[in-house]
Amino acid sequence: MSSIEDKVVIITGAGGGIGSATARLLAERGAKVVLADRKLEAAGRVAEQIERAGGSAVAMPVDVTNRAEMINLVAAATDRFGRLDVMVNNAGVGPVSYLDELKVDEWDLMIEVNLRGVLNGIAAALPVFRGQDSGQFVNIASTAAYTTSPTMAVYSGVKTAVRAVSEGLRKESGPHLRVSVVSPGFVATEFVQTVSDSQVREQLLKQRDAMAVSPDAIARAIAFAIEQPPEVDVNEIVIRPTAQA
């Protein structure tokens, strides 16, 4: 019996990329997955595929920047399945740019989705985990949390903050709650398409196409953190293409 089997797992940003790959893998291993995404149609397609394959999945439209929607998401998951075991805070955006371009609205978007979205996920799930005396957060950061490159200043700063918040949460959580940070490098998703500067976007697309790993590789790392026995807390996983500097 898999240690993932029958766990109830919420995954934000589950309509594509890392989120959908994670939902499929965890469902294959017997988890009951709740797919949250701003685009319900995309999450719904993934949920239908999982259900057709014999898994258990439900999709919900959720904006992670809206705390009330995140609270409703957790409530819906616990109402349907009776508990919540894992919150995967995966939703993210990456419209990176040079600071000189002053794309302040895009800075704000990264702060709202990539950081506030994680905080909203924590605020929604933590009371449930406390009530159960068990639970696990898996927060998706980035290799940009460990090094800052040109165009990546704001994105790197936000992902570094995700690591810091996660470490603080881990130290406050006590002996029964687990906190894991998974930090991917280049992944073969549409993530780079959010970059509005065409020159920067083309450069990143070339790098992605030359070296990126499949979202399935990140999903396996997330599953590894989840499948450990309750007394084992995998705190950080950094996973990148072998060719990535």
Please write the tens of the pLDDT for every residue from 81-122.
999 999 999 999 999 999 999 999 999 999 999 999 999 999
Residues 55/71, Cβ–Cβ less than 8 Å: no
Active-site position among 155, 186, 225, 234: 155
DSSP, collapsed to helix, strand or coil, labels residue 208 as helix
Whether 236 is covered by a domain: the verdict is no
Instruction: Count the domains in the chain.
Output: 1
Neighbours of 133 (CB within 10 A): 10
Digit-coded pLDDT (tens) for 46-68: 999 999 999 999 999 999 999 99
* 152-190 b/e (C-beta count within 10 Å ≥ 16 → b): bbbbbbbbbbbbebbeebbeebeeebbbbbbbbbbbbbe
**Residue 155 is among the residues annotated as catalytic for this protein:** yes
Task: Give 214-239 as a DSSP string.
Answer: PHHHHHHHHHHHHHS-TT----EEEE
Q: What is the pLDDT of residue 71?
A: 98
**38 band by pLDDT with thresholds 50, 70 and 90:** very high
- Measured distance CA(34)–CA(56) in Å, rounded: 9
Residue (of 45, 47, 49, 25) closest to 34 by Cα position: 47
Token pair, residue 12, equals 């934000």
Digit-coded pLDDT (tens) for 113-150: 999 999 999 999 999 999 999 999 999 999 999 999 99
**245 band by pLDDT with thresholds 50, 70 and 90:** confident
- Measured distance CA(74)–CA(124) in Å, rounded: 6
Whether 83 is covered by a domain: the verdict is yes
Q: What is the pLDDT of residue 191?
A: 86
Domain around 147:
8-229
Q: What is the pLDDT of residue 225?
A: 98
The domain that holds 186 is classified in CATH as 3.40.50.720
Q: What is the pLDDT of residue 31?
A: 98
For residues 206-212, average pLDDT? 93
Whether 48 is covered by a domain: the verdict is yes
Whether 238 is covered by a domain: the verdict is no
Whether 115 is covered by a domain: the verdict is yes
* 7-44 b/e (C-beta count within 10 Å ≥ 16 → b): bbbbbbbbbbbbbbbbbbbbbbbebbbbbbbbebebbb
Whether 2 is covered by a domain: the verdict is no
- Measured distance CA(132)–CA(78) in Å, rounded: 11
Whether 240 is covered by a domain: the verdict is no
